[in-house]
Amino acid sequence: MRTIKKQISVLLAVLMVLSSIMTVSFSVSAAETTGGTVTVKSNLCDSEVYNYTASDKQIQVKYYLQCDKKILNMQGGIYYDSSVLKVADTNTEETCIPAFVSGNAFINFDLTNKALFNATNLNLYDFTSQGVFVTVTFDIIGSGDTEVNLDVDVITATTANSYLELKGASDIDLVYYGNIAADKFAFSSDAKVIPDETKDVSVFGDIDLALADNGSGVYTGVTDLEAGTYTFKINNMGTTYCSGATFTDKTAGTIYNSKWTSATTLKASGGTYTFKYDTTTNKLIIEYKAPSRAQIFGDINLDLQATKDANIYSGEIELEAGKYSFRVMNQGVQYCGGYTFNDITLGAKYNSKWTSASTLNAKGGTYTISYDIDANMLSITYVPTGAECGIVGDITLSLDATTNEKVYSATTEVEAGTYQLKVSNFGKNCGSGATIKNSTNGVVLNPKWSKYLTFVATGGTYTFTYNIATNTLAIIPEKAETVVKVTGGIDLTLAKSADENVYTGTTTLNAGTFTFKMNVDGTDYCCGATIKNATTGLSYKSKYTSSSTLIATGGTYTFTYNVATNVLSVAYAK
């Protein structure tokens, strides 16, 4: 035991040098923070990076140890940048090195850019189960990317389980320095960023509303307001931002400034208001949702919200396959219709004198229920479960993703008839008051429009293609080969070229003047231009009626027509 005590005494002497270091006190003044990262690292474990923002107050860093041997003593330091981080006043030996306070332990926080510590215990420290090796809480006082680094100078372990089992010097020859220890001990780390509750973003004044960060610097809050006039200002991390603007119910983006002092005035019609404040641009958006004047109740309970059309209220709900009975509440009055709907209806009349509930036989999916509070007409459309984009209404069709991430398309058989359609664009039903006769290369729809697109089909196979970015729908029927002709004073049928949209044909003409029109599948396309022997490109339209005039000098003439762009070129050869 003499040898053992001598070796321990030497180690203690080395370790306790740290305790005798003269403390050097310093102070750091807090600067305005804008955020950054903290890299938590060590010479004994991998690094991890943590983000912090201007609204965060502290970061708590922890290092863990697990070892199958008992620990006799250790020495190390935590190193950091004191221009960004400051050791919090709440740190003590008990909180920072809790596993070591049962022995002789010391930690010195009063050093610039570092906190040094050591500990020793002849009764040994037990880390056979993972425990906290050292933890420090830092106040965030600056900004930018920084790091916290645990550097373990020495750690001594023993195969003995207690002081009484120490039988020889070999029992404590497990002394490791620096990186050598990394292979002998299981070290790990983590950290927790603590927000500063005093650094919030809120609306205050007549409206008292805390806003929460959505992760991108935009703070959002929702509140219900009765009809009336409200004045308010914005608290942005403890600084008041103002705008003397006045608006009714909503704003698409009002700028606020800390130098301005006038409060904002909101003239509220009453309803639900969503405040969105961007702390980077200091721009406020307010979205407004009018109170529901129509509800679905029964097996389906849904508040219908106002749409662009003042009398139309609409709502969306996910339903599993099944049978649902329901009634309608229109401005506090019950309206009924004893109908049975299979997934959809584009117009069912309801009456306050009727009492029977309606039944919806649902295949399952996203259902949009709309109600006209003046005409008391109900409509239901749906998109099947799993469909992201689809045709709804008289035709229900899921559109499939294509190689273009913005374009969805599908093909289906449609019988001759007139159909009312909308497009569900990821849950938003887009409508249009337009009428499409059998085909369209592109009609624009809008989620704010409640009217249905009227599609008059001659029957056959149709491909529906929708661009979710531009809300443009194309309907193209599969049909026999397109017939393109030059008609009138020139009788010429054009043949399809290698380009499927381009048709061409050649004819011999004597010198003279010829009038003609272009005809595509029986529809005349016109342009009242005069062509002197040849043209490189004239645009034709079906709504024009005047014939074109060709003044020919005589020879061979090649007509080339693009049915996609409706552009004609005429080439001449002697």
Q: Which residues of 533-547 are buried (b: 16+ CB within 10 A; e: fewer)?
A: bebeebebeeeeeeb
Are 353 and 434 in the same domain?
no
Separate counts of helices (H) and strands (E) for the chain: 2, 51
| Residue 301 shares a structural domain with residue 280 | no
Q: Which of 192-215 are b and which e, b meaning 16 or more Cβ less than 10 Å from the residue's Cβ? A: eebebeebbbbbebebebebeeee
Residue 180, pLDDT score? 59
CB 296 within 8 A of CB 345: no
Pick the last residue of a domain from 442, 459, 477.
477
Which of 289, 321, 352 is the C-terminal boundary of a domain? 289
- Three-state DSSP state, 415: coil
pLDDT bin (cut points 50, 70, 90) of residue 6 is very low
Q: pLDDT at residue 16 above 80?
A: no
Q: What is the pLDDT of residue 26?
A: 38
* Whether residues 248 and 339 fall in one domain: no
pLDDT band at 174 (very low <50, low <70, confident <90, very high): low
User: What average pLDDT does this structure show over 516-523?
Assistant: 92
Residue that finishes a domain, picked among 161, 195, 229: 195
Query: In the predicted model, what is the mean pLDDT of the chain?
Result: 87
Same domain as 310, residue 346: yes
- Which pTM does this prediction carry? 0.41
Does position 28 have pLDDT exceeding 80, yes or no? Answer: no
Model confidence at 517: pLDDT above 70: yes
73 touches 121 (CB < 8 A) = yes
How many domains does the chain contain in total?
A: 5
- Asked if residue 173 and residue 29 are part of one domain, the reply reads yes
My answer on whether 315 and 378 are in the same domain is: yes
- 524 in the same domain as 417: no
Q: What is the pLDDT of residues 32-61, one digit of tens each?
A: 567 899 999 998 889 999 999 877 889 999
The owner of tokens 């048709």 is 503
For 324-344, what is each residue's pLDDT tens digit?
999 999 999 999 999 999 888
Nearest to 8 by CA among 54, 72, 95: 72
103 and 186 share a domain? yes
Question: How many residues appear in the chain?
Answer: 574
Phi-psi bin for 521: left (phi > 0), alpha (psi -120 to 50), beta? left
Domain hosting 165: range is 2-195
